[in-house]
Amino acid sequence: MAQLWKGRFKKELAEETNDFNSSIAFDSRMFEEDIKGSIAHATMLGTSGIIEKSESEKITAELEKILQDIKSGALAIDRNAEDIHTFIEGELTKRLGQTGKRLHTARSRNDQVALDIRLTLRKEIIAIADKVKKLIGVLCDKAEEYADAIMPGYTHLQRAQPITFAHHIMAYAAMLCRDLDRLSDVKRRMNVCPLGSCALAGTTYPTDRNQVAELLGFDGITLNSLDGVSDRDFCIELASALSIIMVHLSRFSEEIIMWCSWEFKFVELDDAFSTGSSIMPQKKNPDIAELVRGKSGRVFGDLTTLLTVMKGIALAYNKDMQEDKEAIFDAVDTVKVCLTAFTPMIETMTVLTENMRNAAAKGFINATDCADWLVGKGLPFRDAYKATGELVALCIDRNLTLETLPIDEYKKVCDLFDDGIYDAINLEKCVAGRLSEGGPGRESLAVQLAAARKKIAENH
Ligand code: ARG
């Protein structure tokens, strides 16, 4: 296909460099945004008197037809075109002749591509936010269902203190709520229209940039034409927000993988979200969670790509920037497929509350509560801590738990002990007694659930 910039050249681009130079393989997904942008631009050219109104109307009507034809499959995107902008403009000119050639007045592919990416990513952010909201909703439902399911909380992957399964998964809901905030923040900053920056230095035509911005649903326009065409901060910001989402999904996946092991057996994944082994008949593997954990690396790589592409280029547009699309689209697509697979996996998994309760009964996770009980009897915390440590050592020696250690033994270590200690170290009581804000108690769970549900009801 002929290049748009042919005029000053005597030769076609070498065959070896045509594909190398072309971005059609990865920018054709922006065809709708490219056409919508062109419709807004042509409308503005007409109302500003830069081209005849009648021609502007012909252009917008034909662009609508091109859009429908691509959508219906009647028009195939030419894989030999240099990029989607060239293809659409070429097709318009094929259909309208001279009139089609007027579309590119007061515009450059530099501001056009900056516009198209913004429009595309704005749409993708909404799609991703919807998927994040769905996952938060599933977590809230599960938390309600398992509000009283005692499990050991961990630090250093060592059993530490008693919590509930609800509290544990609401920690992920909290992370995902921040992800929603980050996504809407990126969208807000990105939602300014670069069209009208033209190649780099604006234009001498009497354009109305605000009209175009309004037609395309932007909150305003970019204020510096050099920045307008060469800014990809929004790609970097989005890749960063997406990387953080992947950190969260990857940590969650890691826990699911551990919880599925015989060593934990806290959850069992539905058959529809697990796979078997080709040789070991007994195996049921958490492949979906492993893939999500593995795919996090791709998204971090995409962020690194974008940072590296941008860090050394002089103002304004440079062709290096064509590399932005594969990276940011890969990050977008990866997060979308991960969320699509992850959410129903969580929704359908069976929570093995008895195993969690049994695990909580071992590991002395009520030792802090024992020490706190002594503090309640007037002992300074450090002494209470030491006495409890001695009791734990005693239990380990005799293969007992704090619940089964006889009261005489307690008394030998500290004479403040009485039968009341057994009630204080009861795991259900330990959890219920953690009334501090943000803790695993019932009231805190209600606050967390209300906040998360409110967040997913908001517009992002
Ligand atoms: N395909 C190009 C890109 O994705 C469009 C902009 C081309 N501009 C230029 N001056 N070559 O960045």
| 322 CB within 6 A, ligand 1 | yes
Mean of all residue pLDDT scores within the chain:
95
| 34 CB within 6 A, ligand 1 | no
Indicate the angle between helix axes 84-96 and 109-145, nearest 10 degrees.
Answer: 120
Distance 319 CA to ligand 1 centre (A): 6
Of 322, 325, 326, 328, which is best to mutate to test ligand 1, by the most ligand atoms within 8 angstroms of its C-beta? 322
Distance 312 CA to ligand 1 centre (A): 18
Q: How far is CA 207 from the centre of its chain?
A: 37
Decide if 212 contacts 40 (C-beta within 8 A): yes
Distance 303 CA to ligand 1 centre (A): 21
pLDDT for 459 equals: 81
Name which residue sits closest to atom 11 of ligand 1, judged by CA. 319
| 334 CB within 6 A, ligand 1 | no
Tens digits of per-residue pLDDT, 435-450?
899 999 999 999 999 9
Find, among 93, 64, 133, the residue nearest to 1 by Cα: 93
Question: Which ligand 1 atom sits closest to the C-alpha of 317?
Answer: 10
Distance 110 CA to ligand 1 centre (A): 6
pLDDT for 1 equals: 53
Of 5, 85, 86, 319, which is best to mutate to test ligand 1, by the most ligand atoms within 8 angstroms of its C-beta? 319
pLDDT for 2 equals: 60
The total number of residues shown for the chain amounts to 460
What is the C-alpha end-to-end distance of the chain, expressed in Å?
41
Question: Which ligand 1 atom sits closest to the C-alpha of 27?
Answer: 4
pLDDT for 5 equals: 67
| 232 CB within 6 A, ligand 1 | no
H/E element, 160: strand 158-164
| 230 CB within 6 A, ligand 1 | no
Name which residue sits closest to atom 12 of ligand 1, judged by CA. 322
pLDDT in tens, the chain (460 residues): 566 667 778 878 787 888 899 999 999 999 999 999 999 999 999 999 999 999 999 999 999 999 999 999 999 999 999 999 999 999 999 999 999 999 999 999 999 999 999 999 999 999 999 999 999 999 999 999 999 999 999 999 999 999 999 999 999 999 999 999 999 999 999 999 999 999 999 999 999 999 999 999 999 999 999 999 999 999 999 999 999 999 999 999 999 999 999 999 999 999 888 887 777 777 778 999 999 999 999 999 999 999 999 999 999 999 999 999 999 999 999 999 999 999 999 999 999 999 999 998 888 998 999 999 999 999 999 999 999 999 999 999 999 999 999 999 999 999 999 999 999 999 888 888 888 999 999 999 999 999 999 999 998 7
Q: Supply φ then ψ for residue 152, to 5 degrees.
A: -75, 135
H/E element, 303: helix 287-311
Name which residue sits closest to atom 2 of ligand 1, judged by CA. 322
| 317 CB within 6 A, ligand 1 | yes
**Nearest-10 Cα torsion for 85, 90, 93, 95:** -110
CA dist 401 and 159 (Å) reads 14
Which 3 state secondary structure label does DSSP give 197?
coil
Tens digits of per-residue pLDDT, 280-301?
777 778 999 999 999 999 999 9
Decide if 273 contacts 344 (C-beta within 8 A): yes
CA dist 384 and 361 (Å) reads 21
Model's pTM, two decimal places?
Answer: 0.93
The residues that bridge with 161 in the sheet, in sequence order, are 153
The sign of the dihedral angle between the CA atoms of 425, 431, 432, 433 is positive
Name which residue sits closest to atom 10 of ligand 1, judged by CA. 110
Active-site amino acid positions: 156, 277
Distance 46 CA to ligand 1 centre (A): 25
| 27 CB within 6 A, ligand 1 | yes
Distance 91 CA to ligand 1 centre (A): 18
For 325, other C-beta atoms within 10 Å of its C-beta total 22
Helix-then-strand count for the chain, H and E: 20, 6
Distance 27 CA to ligand 1 centre (A): 10
Which 3 state secondary structure label does DSSP give 162?
strand
| 83 CB within 6 A, ligand 1 | yes
| 23 CB within 6 A, ligand 1 | yes
Distance 56 CA to ligand 1 centre (A): 24
